[in-house]
Amino acid sequence: MKLQPVFNYPKAFRDPDSFVEYHGEMVPDPYQYLEDPDAEPTKEFVEAQNKITYPFLKSAPSREYIKATLTAMLNYPKFSVPFREGEFWYHYYNPGLRNQYIIRRTKSPDDPNEEAEVFLDPNALSEDGTISLSSLSFSKDGSICAYGISEAGSDWHVICFKNAVTGEELPDKLRKVKFSSADFNKEGTGVFYACYKDSKSGTSEGLRDQKLYFHRLGTSQDEDLVVMELPDNPEWIFSSHVSDDFRYLLAMPMKDCHHAQVYIADLTNWSPEKPFPVFQHVVKDFDHQYSYVANHGSRIIFRTNRDGAVNYKLATLDLDSGVWEDLIPHHSQDVLDFCQPLAGDKLVVCWLKNVQHFLQVFDATSGQLVYSFDDLPPCGTIQSFQCRHDETWFFFKQVTFTSPGTIFKGEVISSDEGQPAFPFEVYREINIPGVRSKDYEMTQVFYPSHDATKVPMFILSKRLPNNLKNGNQPTLLYGYGGFNHSLMPEFSITWIHFLSLFGGVVAIANIRGGGEYGRVWHEGGKRLKKMNTFKDFIAAAEYLIKENYTKPDKIVIQGASNGGLLVAACCNLRPDLFGASITRVGVLDMLRYHKFSIGHAWIDDYGSPEEDKEMFNYLMSYSPLHNLRKLPGGQEYPSILLMTADHDDRVLPFHSLKYIAEIQHLMGHQKRPLLIRVETRAGHGKGKPTGKVIEELTDIWCFVQITLALNVSKTMDF
């Protein structure tokens, strides 16, 4: 299909008097007015852009087939791992195309086909499916449920309560909650939670003044007890946890997304009528990460990277003596990804080795290895592991690139020799009609980056009788590279659908900035080393070309949020290397990102332009918005589709709006399209209803088909 030679893009007003000063340098910001999502000029600009974008996307010759096959692929039963609360076993469930997952329950976990009772159905809360569940917790005896609901994809949610025995909805509602769930006290009479109840900050401004509260059921939220507040540090946010034995409340204020101080309060003799006990401040700096695992009396077990444990370890803190000791030491190569307490004195540890999970069990007192789950299929991800610290049952779910999941059920069994056994069996296989794992193959490669660092990458393709390396394969290259987040071998209907439509390959690059190899890998792609992230991704594309998989005009790159920053920066650095780019809810203005919503918590990863001249210059060197330019000699940027949403209150839509206004201003004459799709009643991505997911993915593949001039293989039979 030939591209339209010229697009008549809307002319956004450029304010010649809008500047921001950094270290004596005046930086033009002509579209700063677009930062207000509710202003009329912003609304008019969005409407004008959508009037160009949507007709273009609807013009794809195979649109109906793309949408029909995607809908068919998504129409399969989806199950989470079961978990026990009180006398019931709960699980998340979607029979196929429901907009939101349902929570169901049964009396027994033994029969996966037992008829289940619907406990919570968010689909009944809105006609368009845009109200979703955001959190779920239960009282100790399972009689009261606290659940969060979010509207239109917002990070803001309301915590509601339900009597799990009678099914009665309780009148309590906790509002202005963000980045917090609810933890019950031992008696089940109330919950600890964090919210911005007294904050003056709104949707767009930087979030301030979060406090930790206790809410007593049956009372007004206005009467809630302030458990902890830090008025001298209004931008810090609270992570809190009630210990498994309900003895302690752990409050962990964070100034970024990773590092926390730790306060611990003993709840043994406390009741809501009494003054709250004094917190013990056990970690007073922000140098390391801490997450609660379990406790045996006053001996608290943390997963942490303190004391040089760059791949994490389990360490214990004795609250009585204040002494820290290693329980499971740091491993020089494998990353300790997560840990769950089991059967009183066991710890299930999930390790990350070359971007693949494996499970082991350790003694919680001695730290000695007890058991290894050696019989699991290779190259998988443990997506969920459910157990209880004081019971012997366990369930876990393993997924791969080609399988949506196998749920296993197991039990800890004591033996006469004293060495426990951990037998497990398949509990449920999740299958998609018409999609067979054996029809696909996955290869993991390690390619050299600009500084000779070996970077892992997964290459997924259909199993073909002929050679895949013909230099002409349609290629989807995906990356993230930030915030210590690892891209694991997980099933994605998006990637399977791409291969079914276009053939070719899907490549997932595990670039620096992620957590695939622990703290060193993360820090190798953040702050003044952020350029490594982009160069790793560029090297991935160069590897695919060198190995004769593909060529530049057959490559589409895709990333979301921090991954949106990635693909936009790479388009600026190497516009010649890619045919198309999909930037979803991207962080694109690196001089202003930290002034809105939760952006200040990202400074640890990105740095702030205000902190010093060096950091300002570094951010200016790659900020996607500030590095757009008019390309010389008839060169063009790749075809670009930006995607954002009007209710995204994490990465606000102004990032994408400013970027599209500037690139259309500079390069609106090029033949390749420069488009933005602004979704309504949607947020950053979490809780998006199935109907909107189908429309969004259909639009993405239509954009890819048109801009890369791809033929669709109409061989799927559903």
Neighbours of 434 (CB within 10 A): 14
Residue 274 burial class via C-beta count within 10 angstroms: exposed 0-12, middle 13-18, buried 19 and up: exposed
Tell me the two tokens of residue 345. Answer: 């004195």
β-bridge pairing 393-400 and 403-411: antiparallel
Q: Which residues are catalytic?
A: 561, 648, 684
Any residues with CB less than 8 A from the CB of 262 and at least 6 apart, and which?
Answer: 250, 251, 252, 281, 282, 283, 290
Is there a contact between 174 and 225 (Cβ–Cβ < 8 Å)? no
User: Which residues are 133's β-sheet partners?
Assistant: 149
Q: Exposure pattern of 56-86 as b/e (b: 16+ CB <10 Å)? A: bbeebebbeebbebbbbbbebebbbbbbbbb
Per DSSP, helices labelled H in 9-155 are 40-58, 63-74
Please, which contacts does 106-112 make with residues 24 or more away whose CB atoms are closer than 8 Å?
Answer: 109/82, 109/84, 109/393, 109/395, 109/409, 112/407, 112/427, 112/428
- Angstrom CA distances, 111 to 77, 81, 86, 106, 620, stand at 16, 13, 18, 9, 58
Question: Mutual orientation of helices 40-58 and 690-707 as an angle, nearest 10°?
Answer: 70
Say if CB 528 and CB 609 are below 8 A apart.
no
Give SS3 for 492.
coil
Closest CA to 193 of 159, 167, 151: 159
Q: Which residues pair with 335 in a beta bridge?
A: 352
Yes or no: say if 571 and 538 are a contact pair by the CB < 8 Å rule: no
Structure tokens at 246: 């309900």
In angstroms and rounded to an integer, the radius of gyration of the C-alpha atoms of the chain is 26
> Which helix (DSSP H) or strand (DSSP E) does residue 478 occupy?
strand 475-478
Nearest to 522 by CA among 550, 485, 559: 485
- The owner of tokens 């009183």 is 344
Could you say which DSSP state residue 377 is in? P
3-state DSSP assignment of residue 707: helix
Strands (E), 343-465: 346-352, 357-363, 369-372, 381-387, 393-400, 403-411, 424-429, 440-448, 454-462
Yes or no: say if 267 and 249 are a contact pair by the CB < 8 Å rule.
yes
Amino acid at 162: K
DSSP assignment, residue 403? E
| Structure-token pair, residue 561 | 């949020």
Smallest Cα–Cα separation from 361: which of 310, 447, 422? 422
Instruction: Specify burial of residue 478 (Cβ count, 10 A radius: 0-12, 13-18, 19+).
Output: buried
Integer CA distances (angstroms), 172 to 159, 219, 220, in order: 8, 7, 7
Rounded distance between C-alpha atoms, residue 214 and residue 199, angstroms: 17
Which among 551, 531, 359, 526 is positioned nearest to 449, based on CA atoms? 531
What is the DSSP track for 574-630? Answer: -TTS-SEEEEES----TTTGGGBBTGGGGHHHH--TTT-HHHHHHHHHH-TGGG---
CA atoms of 31 and 23, how far apart (whole Å): 21
